[in-house]
A and B are shown apart, each in its own frame.
Chain A
Amino acid sequence: MSNEWPLWEVFIRGQHGMSHRHVGSLHAPDAEMAIKNARDVYTRRNEGVSIWVVPAAQIAASSPSDKGPLFDPSRSKVYRHPTFFDIPDDVGAM
């Protein structure tokens, strides 16, 4: 019978002040071992100052087929970008 270690997704904070970023995944029996393994697998060259591990089964993701309904509506809202507005040069920096 297969008694495979569960899969964990690994997130690393590369530097102080930055957010954690997904770097990959690994197998481990529990969270504690997942963090230890993540250190060996993903931070052998000072790539991180902090590690998060999340059971892969706990991640909910949007589905590729929802890409249109989810993201298209924001395309037409160009006024959300500051460059939409023409402010005369005389006004100065804004």
Chain B
Amino acid sequence: MYAQMIQSEATTEDAEQLAAFQARIDAGERIEPKDWMPEGYRKTLIRQIGQHAHSEIVGQLPEGNWITRAPTLERKAILLAKVQDEAGHGLYLYCAAETLGISRDDLTEQLLSGRMKYSSIFNYPTLTWADVGAVGWLVDGAAIMNQVPLQRTSYGPYSRAMIRICKEESFHQRQGFDIMMKMAQGTEAQKRMAQDALNRFWYPSLMMFGPSDAESIHSTQNMAWRIKINSNDELRQKFVDQTVPQAEFLGLTIPDPNLRLNPETGHYDFSEPDWGEFFDVLRGNGPCNADRMEARQTAWSEGQWVRDGLMAHAAKKRARRVAAE
């Protein structure tokens, strides 16, 4: 997902306090920034919300790649709006993370030094315009699967950020599907591009949910804290079940010879993605890891004089106002 494989942090507080905290969560209460919370809950949330925020920010890059080359002015305006939304999503989430006692600069620094991750999916390139369609349809589609339940997460600021984000995501997926429809109904060459985009984005999209966590202790703890709501396999299955009929509607073929509707379960059986590739991408060896990090480094270092200049200007204005009083 946008936050993949979040390890839960150990917690060492006394049992009575922990039980009272767990009881609040079990009762469906929201935990707010100034409330008492276990250290492990706080640290795990910083990692999860931080990774989610970084994913929104880095996630602008693959689509941003096509803004200047969108096929029409209307498509360009739509893509700009979509990418701008993702910047907004990053900002909502950074602010939620900051309520847990980490600074924005700290979060940025941890992304740039590689100590914090972003979703594996954004390390794949967008080679053609059809890829922009596939990203909206599949990547935003997979993100929605995970974000909708997170609206009910136990941490108030995170939950409110997810509610805002979910309101905006549906536009993202629909504009992607709209591009895919156009391409799939277009010329033979356009249809081939659409199929090729699906071929390349299918398995990386399945990887977004992370490997099976049925036996993970981290997953169990995070579910008890309600910062994870569903298992990875559950969400992946939901995503496949929702997406296969959409691909059929487009007249495109999911690149999986084992894909079939299982009449007993009512769900689609499908092939697992290559988890070796997934871990390799997480280690930094995906096709675009270096590019993505370099783009963020450059944005940060070249923006330094702007950040400093505006602060200096604000200080000067303040001083003038004080002098005038």
Which residues of chain A in 8-29 are interfacial with respect to chain B, using CB atoms and an 8 Å cutoff? 24-27, 29
A33 interface residue, CB < 8 Å from B? yes
Q: A42 CB to closest chain B CB, in angstroms?
A: 8
Q: Which of B88, B95, B105, B308 sits near A44, CB closer than 8 Å?
A: B88
Contact of B308 among A3, A25, A64 (CB under 8 A): A3
Cross-chain contact of A29 among B91, B95, B314 (Cβ < 8 A)? B314
Q: Find the A residue at minimum CB distance from B92.
A: A24
| Interface size range on B against A | 20 to 34
Residue on A with the closest CB to B95? A25
Residues in B279-325 with C-beta less than 8 Å from chain A = 307-308, 310-311, 313-314, 317-318
Does the CB pair A64–B105 fall under 8 Å? no
Interface contacts (Cβ under 8 Å), in number, total 51
Q: Decide: A7 near B98, CB < 8 A? Known: A2-B103, A24-B92, A24-B160.
A: yes
The yes or no answer to A84 lying at the interface (CB within 8 A) is no
> Within 8 Å of chain B (Cβ to Cβ): is A89?
no
Known A-B contacts A4-B103, A27-B104, A30-B314; the reply to A64 vs B35 at CB < 8 A is yes
Is B115 part of the contact surface with A, judged by Cβ < 8 Å? no
Q: Is the CB of B314 within 8 A of A41?
A: no
Which of B34, B95, B103 is the one whose CB lies under 8 Å from A64?
A: B34
Q: In the complex, what's the smallest C-beta–C-beta distance from A72 to chain B, in angstroms? A: 17
Q: How far is the CA of A85 from the CA of B311 in the complex (A)?
A: 59
CB distance from B304 to the nearest CB of A (A): 9
Task: Tell me the smallest distance from the CB of A24 to a CB of chain B, in Å.
Answer: 6
Q: Which of A2, A24, A61 contacts B105 (CB 8 A)?
A: A2
Contact of B212 with A by CB under 8 A: no
Binary contact track B144-183/A, C-beta < 8 Å → 1, others 0: 0000000000000000110010001000000000000000
- Given contacts A30-B317, A64-B34, whether A44 and B103 have CB atoms under 8 Å apart is no
**Band of interface residues on A:** 10 to 19
- CA of A26 to CA of B168, assembled, Å: 19
Q: Say if the beta carbon of B241 comes within 8 Å of chain A.
A: no
- Which residues of the other chain, A, contact B168 by a CB distance below 8 angstroms? 45
Closest approach, in angstroms, between the C-beta of B315 and any C-beta of chain A?
Answer: 9
Is the pair B310, A33 in contact by a Cβ cutoff of 8 Å? Answer: yes
User: Which B residue sits closest to A7, measured CB to CB?
Assistant: B98
Interface assignment of A5: CB less than 8 Å from any CB of chain B: yes
Asked if residues B313 and A29 are in contact (CB atoms below 8 Å), the reply is: yes
A76 at the interface (CB under 8 A from B): no
A32 to B34: give the CA distance in the assembly, Å: 29
Closest to A62 in B: B34
User: B residues bordering A, Cβ < 8 Å?
Assistant: 32, 34-36, 81, 84-85, 88, 91-92, 95, 98, 103-105, 160-161, 164, 168, 307-308, 310-311, 313-314, 317-318
Q: A residues engaging B (CB < 8 A)?
A: 2-5, 7, 24-27, 29-30, 33, 40-41, 44-45, 61, 63-64
Known: A29-B307, A29-B313, A44-B85. 15 other contacts (CB 8 A): A3-B307, A4-B103, A7-B95, A7-B98, A24-B92, A24-B95, A24-B160, A24-B161, A33-B314, A40-B84, A41-B91, A41-B92, A44-B81, A44-B88, A45-B168
